[in-house]
Structure 1
């Protein structure tokens, strides 16, 4: 039998023996890999996930030795290179540093001439990620794709609460509630404050820091609905590519017009700030707008204005 069982460090020897007897499995695992990931993880997540970069660079090293056309490179990047970290991205959120390094390795491979020497990147990677109809090559943004895959796992847990993985995670993280309420077990009762000690015990240093930076809002009700699909169900595609401009940017044939107003092209800036629905929302919120109005094409300028408003002494406390 090829099956093996993995035990935590705190499981006593007699407990291991009993479990092995019940399962009729004698072999203990933990040192192997599954779909490219180590069976057991220890240490910092960033160090553990470096193997993805090493595998990708190792694959590129073999390809560098061959004189490949741009067409061959395109196929290799889309069908093999981008497929290597998919399982890891479905389990872990890749760090920004790792995403940058993976992107850098792909950029270097794309512009190389087979001599394994760095070449000038004549076109920005963001432009290469555009659809071919818009002058790009249809490559994917790793960071957005990783986030979308993780969100898909969360949606599966919500939709299939009786699945094995959902029951295992529930026993550890939201034993007395639901998946969407699991954060409540990490709060100090009746305070709305994080239980720092518990969070540091349950999560890695990096994840714990991210959680502690979130401000809990315990007095607001939650409702479950994904707003970027007609049926309200989440998909990794809709998670990574939420507006029409971004969908077409990556090769998905959809209408360019905004779904809400039907007039303007559905860009991120239009959806969040310039669509009549968005403008009504900002107006109802009482947010002071710039003298010349919000920018028509710069998300950065509009977000900068919002952040400045929250820091202004003249801004109402509730609006902040």
Structure 2
């Protein structure tokens, strides 16, 4: 794949200007977003591993459990000896699966307080306080009569950040079973996309909204971003600035000297979208013009550059309109509307909300 991207041929091999790890960096982190096939394969295998966790009573689950882990759950299973290729492949994704799992507390009888991931905090999914005697399962922290946390025991035994994380977990009066969920999706279900992002282990400190804006723009295929690091060549050169003015995009250059490239791109969100798209094509043409001047000593008149930018923007706009032109279906009003109860019947309307600090609010209106 790398040889294809850099333009290799049967008789000549081109230079690979960037490491493949850099090419596989996520787009939102400034990379090209190429798939790391090894990590992607683990994410796909993780879906089969997830079946062992959530569908242990299926035919697939019964067969694999009887052969490879008859005395424990999948998450505690070892690979064993003389295994099939299928089991080795599925087992290899278990580490990725465990990195993204978190327990949903029901009765708390299956969750180990000290070794299982069951709290959600900025520092991770595990309890960081030192173990104490007499507390092993999460059920030891729950009052079996009231189905509420033993607040006094928790405050005396755990660090402050652990106390906040534990008390923020809502409990049910129905004594539900504990369940393993996926921490990276809203519905708790495993997804290959989030597992791949977890496997890539990207540094989220490198995230910038500008990268999302660049890749979502309706413009020609994007480059790697390195071209936009030379603000003088694209914005500040007097001749270049004249071209920006003639294209009607001078507003995009106002803060070019004081902002980083990412912050500058993010500031364009306040401008007209058509103008921004035209400016993106202009920046691309100017960078190509700069390279042509340095390496070939050729220069294109400003008028021709302006006409080229207008043509590219119009052609690409008509192309996207032809390919993706569709009218969104009008939203239909919901057929489920509130109706008053019949005479002699009491109707309860309920709602609930959870605050960031863990408090839960309930509302009940009777009619």
TM-score by length of 1: 0.31
Q: Which has the higher contact order (CA 8 A, sep 6+)?
A: 2
Return the structure number with greater strand share: 2
